[in-house]
Each structure stands twice: as structure tokens, then as C-alpha cells.
Amino acid sequence: MRHWREIEKRERPLGYDISWDKPHPPSEDNHWQESDCYWFYDRNNGVGGFHRIGQKPNLGTGQVTLFVFKEGGERYVLSSGEKAEHKLGPDARQEAKQVVGSHTAEALGDGQMRFTWGEEECEGDLEFYEAFHAPRNWSKTGHSDDFMSNINSDGHLECSGRIRGTVKIGKNSYKIDGLCHRDRSWGFRDNSRASLHRYRMFSGTVGPELSFASFFLDLKGGPKMVAGFVARHGEDLDVRDLRVITRFDSDGLTPLGATGILTLETGEEVRIETSSVQGFMTPVPEAGAASQDHISTFMHNGKTGFLDLELSTNPGRGTYIPTQEDVTFLAVDQGLSASVKYTD
């Protein structure tokens, strides 16, 4: 099997270069931000998670989100409160590295990345070491450019691949080698413009034979926007429509599974049936809502893949943020807790 770099070089112009993975010069806007985000799952070890490292350099602040779990063991959540917000230090923006508190994202070259963190009850050192396709933007056809200028004005990439390393949850350490999907964004972003009453992001992989990244989101006073792509064996096509039909538990909040229908620019529909494994909630106070992320699995041609089902379900557009008492399996409380098994 040819490496994605070889495929890109021989068959079409290469869009990606290492500068995409390094810190960029910010504009003067206080809403300018840069972030690294990825989610992963090692099915053999039952370990997975979600990690985001973001910076607003003009405000001198950084934000982290961390969720790591061991099935049948413990899970750790850091998604709100003082520990999730940091003042940027003098080493926060290096030539190939972002640093927020104890959390780092470092470009190693050729699409490879290293991510580390060191919280009191959770530590990690992971390397995104293999890409299944060339890192690329949400859209190659330009149909989402006007919309994306509101949330990722300068640049964005998505890429699926493999990740390896070590994570520690509580007192237990785990070596992992599993599937991963990552993204990077830089530019203007104002979350208060987003309407999160029906937001969905649906991105994951089973391997080089199928990777995908897709979302739909509404801007306040604006239309719904859909963007994304499906990559298969070195070729990729833009997504023109996305439906995510979600099956909720009795709390009306926790998704037990979903059906994603990705309609490509050719008219082909790619249908993916998911089952949730573990998930957590992130308050988004500037948008008056909360977002959820659920590491999930799906089957494709006899192989098990994984994805992150990211969603906000708030049809009444209220401002109440759910607490742990409001949900069944979803993790809301910060810090360590016992992992749960999602059941019907």
C-alpha cells in the first residue's frame, strides 16, 4: 500500500505542508484563536479519549479540554472551571509547538504530531505517527468558504490515522496503539455567533479504506452549513449533506448510538451506524449551550472503526446547562469517576 504522501505527489498537487501544523502569526482581532484537537480509541485495550489545546494569543489566554477513559476502569474529565483556563506563558507559542499549562502539541513533520499533558490525576504522552490520507480542509470545492470565514477564517485541517503512546488515569497506566482523528484550526472564531440547538460533528476512521470528517452547524440569523469529506484509498470527495439520526437514552440527552448519512458531491450516500462507548459534556457559556462528545464504534466491511459523535441538542434554545444528576451515562462532573457501560 502506498503512503498518502506518495499518492498526493504523483496524482494531484499537494495542499498540505508542515506550516499547517505549526503556530501561525495571529491577526489583531481578539477573537483570533489557534487550536489542536484530536480523539482516539484503542479498542484492544479499551482506552480512548478527546483532547483539545487552544490559544487566544491576543488575549494571552489558553484553553484545554481533556477526556480519557478506560472501559471497565476510570474516566477523567477536564472541560470547564479554573483548571481548563490558563494564562499563556512566555514559551506558549514556539516555532513548532503550542503550550497551554501542562498541555503541549508539537509538529514533528510530515503530518506527525506529539501531544502531552500532566494533570494531577491524568497524564499522557501520545504520538500521531501514521496518516491514512493527506491532511486537508473541510472543503476543496469552496462551497463552505463564506461560512468558514466565521469560524476558521485563516485555515483548517482534518486527518485520520494512528496514534500510540502512554496514558495514565488515576493510578493506572496504559500503553495504547489505536485509531485517531485530528484537526487544527487557526483564525477568527466567535462562538457566540453559533446556534447550538442542533449542532452535529461526525468524524472518524476505520483505516485507509474509509475515513471521514463532517459537520453541520447554524449561525445565529444564518442558514445551516454542511461541510466535510470522505477519504477512501487515497481519494477523497467533499460532503454536500449530512444527516445524523440519533438514538437517545431516557434522559433525552445521552446518545446510545446514531446513524450518519453522508451525501457526497457525486450523490453517493455513505451510511454509518454507530454505538456509543463513553462520552462527556463541555459547557459553551458564550453560546448559552453545552456540547457533548461521544467516542463511538461502527462496522465497515467486517472491521471495527471509531468516531467522535459531537453534538448539541437544544431545540428549545434554552440556556440551562445539564448537571450530572440530569444524565444517565454521560460524564459531566470534572475529574475522576468510574467508567460506565452504555446499555439500552
- Could you report the per-residue pLDDT of 157-181, keeping only the tens digit for each? 999 999 999 999 999 999 999 999 9
pLDDT, greater one: 296 or 285: 296
- Give dist(CA 8, CA 183) in Å, integer: 19
Which CATH number is associated with domain 9-315?
2.40.370.10
So what's the pLDDT on residue 150?
64
- The beta-strand segments (E) located in 120-234 are 122-131, 155-169, 172-188, 194-207, 210-219, 224-232
DSSP 42: E
Sign of the CA dihedral 13, 17, 19, 20?
positive
Average pLDDT over residues 219-229: 81
So what's the pLDDT on residue 318?
84
Let me know the angle formed at the C-alpha of 31 by 99 and 195, rounded to the nearest 5 degrees: 110
pLDDT per residue as tens digits for the range 89-132: 999 999 999 999 999 999 999 999 999 999 999 999 999 999 99
Q: Are strands 235-248 and 224-232 parallel, antiparallel or unpaired?
A: antiparallel
Average pLDDT over residues 239-265: 96
> Position 90: which residue type?
P
Average pLDDT over residues 289-316: 94
So what's the pLDDT on residue 195?
75
- Give dist(CA 41, CA 157) in Å, integer: 20
- Taking the domains of the chain in order of start, what are their residue ranges? 9-315
Average pLDDT over residues 246-272: 97
Percentage of residues of the chain with pLDDT beyond 90: 76
**pTM of the predicted model as reported, rounded to 2 decimal places:** 0.93
Does the pLDDT of residue 305 top 90, yes or no? yes
290: closest CA among 324, 315, 319? 319
Q: How far is CA 167 from the centre of its chain?
A: 18
Mean pLDDT of the chain: 91
Q: Read off the pLDDT band of 146 (50, 70, 90).
A: low
C-alpha cell at position 181: 482523528
So what's the pLDDT on residue 295?
98
235: closest CA among 209, 255, 214, 216? 209
